Structure 1
Amino acid sequence: MSPPSPVLEAVRYEWTTFNQFFEPDVYSGYPSAASEAAWAKLWDFGAFSVPLDSLGSLNKSSMIGDFRLVGEDRGGGVGGLLEGAHQIHCLNLVRQFIYRNHWDYSRLPSFSGGDKTRRHHVDHCVSTLRMVLTCSSDVTPYVLETSATGKIMGKGLPRKCRVYPDLVQWVNGHSVFSSVE
């Protein structure tokens, strides 16, 4: 379940089976220009407008706080980022932190501010991902099978997933601010 969001109008589902044999893809392995671009495309896009009258249903009923307001010429409201994109940003940051000695990330905002700030950001991301995974708790069985060599392997099963590119397309079409990290 999701709280009210203007993005819900773009939600569509499809059946998919995850990569069960860990076939390498552009998101895995050592960083490259192609992998960095692919990861950025998953999360690095603008903010959309969240109507002021919907803030109460998001448990943000007062304007106390440092909300980033959207000008009336762009529909008003407050700026909002796709939480799923924030979560992918977090996964990407953890990946980049793991590979920080293999690729130059020094120009990225996430890698500025010194080691203590960087570790704090990574810790925030690990906590965010832990909370998201425990909150959404996929209950699909991870069916165990024994391979010909006797190794026990998990077998991928179909599951119904949101079509993420549709959400990205919606946000890009309703963007009121450019990329925000």
Structure 2
Amino acid sequence: MLSLLVFAIGAGVAVWANPGLEIPDMVYSPAQNVIRYKNIVFNSGWGDQKSIYMGPPSEENNKAWDDLHVAPAMVKIPASDAAKLVNKTAPIPGDSGNSLGYYLIGLDVFHQLHCLDMLRKVLWGVDMHHTNDEEAMHHLDHCIEMIRQSLMCSADITVDVWAWNEEKQMVTVRADNMHTCRDFEAIRQWALEREAGEFDRTINLVDS
């Protein structure tokens, strides 16, 4: 309820600021009630503003990336939530091929992080073990397109400021600005608590 209230207040403010603004209905997500907002100052990625996710692939930063998107990638939801989805999704089969009463989904943020992680590894020369170069390029092209659409969909309007750079003796843009963000960890925990686990993806379970 709180997340819906926050959205309603935000939408009300937006309409007040721009009376001509039309806001479409929100596309349903079973994770929408976990949405919280927090202000975060971004790392610039320059100088000493580095994070665990940067640098050549290593055991440490590979694990950090995996923790972001691997386990929470496939989520199970009950039929009552699945019925509210805009697009129909597949039921999860049990060991004997029967329905467990759960349906398979993923939250797109984890797909986007998977794509970014793959681009990171390819940039550093890691072999992603595709069948051939054509398949590899198709996968990379897909990932770039998904990230492009996501960035344009969210269209972050955080203000980037400019400041005098003593070293370069010129005005340069600052990347370490404060952003109002969705609480990613809350969303990740929601997904982890509903992790689908292993199941036979070759079973075509007909939904009743």
Give the TM interval when normalised to the shorter protein: 0.7 to 0.9
Matched-pair contact (CA < 8 Å) for 2:39–2:178 = yes
Q: Decide whether aligned partners of structure 1 residues 79 and 32 sit closer, same or farther in structure 2, where only a CA change above 3 A counts.
A: same
Match of residue 137, structure 2, among 114, 119, 131: 119
The residue matched to 1:20 in structure 2 has which SS? coil
Matched-pair contact (CA < 8 Å) for 2:77–2:103 = yes
Q: What aligned pairs does 1:1-181 form with structure 2 within 5 A after superposition? A: 3-20=27-44, 22=46, 23-46=49-72, 47-52=74-79, 54=81, 58-60=85-87, 67-71=89-93, 76-100=101-125, 103=126, 105-106=127-128, 111-149=129-167, 150-155=169-174, 156-178=176-198
Which structure has more relative contact order (CA 8 Å, sep 6+)? It is: 1
CA distances 1:20-50 after superposition (whole Å, capped 9, x unpaired): 3622222111111111111111100142234
TM-score for the superposition, normalised by structure 1: 0.79
> What is the Cα deviation at residue 8 of structure 1?
1.8
Pick the structure with greater CA Rg: 2
> What is the Cα deviation at residue 76 of structure 1?
2.4
Q: 2:132 is matched by which residue type in structure 1?
A: G
% identity of equivalent residues:
24
Provide the aligned length of Structure 1 versus Structure 2.
167
> What is the Cα deviation at residue 162 of structure 1?
1.3
Q: 1:151 is matched by which residue type in structure 2?
A: M
Q: 1:161 is matched by which residue type in structure 2?
A: C
Matched-pair contact (CA < 8 Å) for 1:74–1:176 = no
TM-score for the superposition, normalised by structure 2: 0.70
Matched-pair contact (CA < 8 Å) for 2:91–2:99 = no
Matched-pair contact (CA < 8 Å) for 2:112–2:147 = yes
Q: Decide whether aligned partners of structure 1 residues 171 and 163 sit closer, same or farther in structure 2, where only a CA change above 3 A counts.
A: same
* Unaligned residue ranges in structure 2 (runs of 5+): 1-6, 8-25, 200-208
Distance in structure 2 (CA, Å) of the matches to 1:130 and 1:50: 28
The residue matched to 1:87 in structure 2 has which SS? helix
* Unaligned residue ranges in structure 1 (runs of 5+): none
Distance in structure 1 (CA, Å) of the matches to 2:141 and 2:100: 35
**CA-based RMSD:** 2.7
Matched-pair contact (CA < 8 Å) for 1:45–1:178 = no
